[in-house]
Amino acid sequence: MDRRRFIATSGAALGTILAGCSGQADSGETSTSTPTSTSTTTESTSTTTEAAQSYSVMMEPVGTVEFDAVPKTVAMYFPGYADMSVALGHADAVASVGLPSRYHTDYYDQLEGVSIDKSSLTTLYDGGVGKETFYSIGADLHLIDPNWLLNNFKGWEQKDIDELVENQAPFLGNVIFRRTDKWHDYRYYTMYEAFEKVAQVFQEQDRYQQFASFHDDFIAGIQARLPGLDQRPNAALLWQGKDKPESFYPYRLSGKGTNKKQFHDLGITDAFAETGLEGLSTSERGTIDYETLLEVDPDSILLRGHETKTAQEFQNTVVAYMKNHEVASQLTAVKKDQVFRGGPIYEGPIQNLFLTERFAKAYYPETFTETELFARADVAAIVRGDV
């Protein structure tokens, strides 16, 4: 395996790093009224010689990583980055995710010629994350924010990151699915800003621009049809995986993590605004019960932890239990059938299109009556590179 080496420190967290192919086998938010901006400034540069083509990608917190070839094997933790890779036509490069059960790939079934072999992905999390697992993958790039490992898993120290950079491959990535980690004191990226970085990694800038343009047109069309601000509901975003829930971990829907993008684009507001309730994070693990929910009495409830269920299965279990619960049955959201699965914690651009459609139809059924709100064939053609 070719050894990766530091080029310069540049004052960045891990410096400017060289990445290449090891020769092994292949393996945003917006405001509530405007589409996500995808016209970000490209920070990638390329240098071409007769012998090879090199290019660099800059992303905080690592800094600038220089590539001597497009990586063929990429270790990832967050499924959102895996979804970005699929969207760019590089599903074969995805070598791992933290928990495959949280990587929802059923959306790809609706896109002809788009798929990923999830069974081939290495599971990074097994009661923790072991350094040896990264060696077994033998990736050309770790598309993982190193601070995620250092701040969430016991046994990880900076020297372990440095070792993997020196002996294996550089790191690049940013924790974008939430913005509640106190240690994350550097720049965040919206979904499409991060997506553009991944496009630079795979040298798929044209395909990114096609996908981003499709997304912008889709969101603009959706938002043009939304009802007035006074007719848009609020929501209590919660997590509880039990079929008979009694307590819940509250999220703040007003937060700007990428997992809330579809709600922001659809004008759904935070039912916990001005209540003093904190959202679920690494430092805040408090729960609330039905009595507290009844005090807030949200217009709707978005319950996470049930994404493997169909909408009907969710109704037959969780919602049915709430309707028969002495206190839960008094909630406006329960009485008006406004209790929905809350969507996945991690998502990327393909998944986000489907989730935006799903919640647009759930929240505004009289407005969005079409079976499909975007053309699957057009998205599939972009992913396949047929445009």
Q: Over 70: is that where the pLDDT of 158 sits?
A: yes
Is there a cis peptide before residue 298, judged by omega within 30 degrees of 0? no
How confident is the model at residue 383, as a pLDDT? 98
DSSP secondary-structure letter at 23?
S
- What are the structural domain ranges in the chain? 6-218, 229-367
What pLDDT score does 44 carry?
Answer: 53
At residue 37, the pLDDT reads: 39
pLDDT in tens, 76-121: 999 999 999 999 999 999 999 999 999 999 999 999 999 999 999 9
* pLDDT confidence band for 29 (50 / 70 / 90): very low
More confident residue, 3 or 376: 376
Q: Looking at the chain, how many residues does it have?
A: 387
Residue 285: predicted pLDDT: 61
Contact in structure between 185 and 179 (CB atoms under 8 Å): no
Q: Does domain 229-367 have CATH number 3.90.470.20?
A: no
Whether the pLDDT of residue 74 is over 90: the answer is yes
CA dihedral 292, 298, 304, 309 (to 10 degrees): 120
pLDDT in tens, 338-384: 999 999 999 999 999 999 999 999 999 999 999 999 999 999 999 99
Instruction: Please give the DSSP secondary-structure letter assigned to residue 40.
Output: P
Provide the pLDDT confidence category of residue 274 given band limits of 50, 70 and 90: confident
The C-alpha atoms of residue 258 and residue 248 are separated, in whole angstroms, by 21
Confidence (pLDDT) at 48: 40
Measured CA angle at 225 (ends 208, 37), to 5 deg: 30
Q: What is the pLDDT of residue 1?
A: 28
> CA 48, 189, 303 angle in degrees (round to 5)?
135
Per-residue pLDDT at 52 exceeds 60: no
Q: How far is CA 138 from CA 6, 20, 23, 82, 194, in A?
A: 18, 12, 10, 17, 24
Q: Decide if pLDDT at 46 tops 60.
A: no
**CA 72, CA 139: separation in Å to the nearest integer?**
8
CB neighbour burial string for 174-187, b if at least 16 within 10 angstroms, e if fewer: bbbbbbbbeebeee
What mean pLDDT value characterizes the chain?
88
pLDDT tens digits for range 230-244:
999 999 999 999 999
- Round to whole Å and give the CA distance between 245 and 173: 35
Percentage of the chain modeled with pLDDT above 70 = 84
CA dihedral 100, 280, 158, 4 (to 10 degrees): 40
| Lowest-confidence region among 44-53, 93-102, 315-324, 361-370 | 44-53
The confidence band for 25, taking pLDDT boundaries of 50, 70 and 90, is: very low
pLDDT of residue 249: 93
pLDDT at 142 over 70: yes
Domains 6-218 and 229-367 share a fold: yes
CATH superfamily of 6-218: Nitrogenase molybdenum iron protein domain (3.40.50.1980)
pLDDT of 277 reads: 72
**pLDDT at site 42:** 44
Judge whether residue 218 has pLDDT over 70: yes
Write down the pLDDT at residue 51. Answer: 37
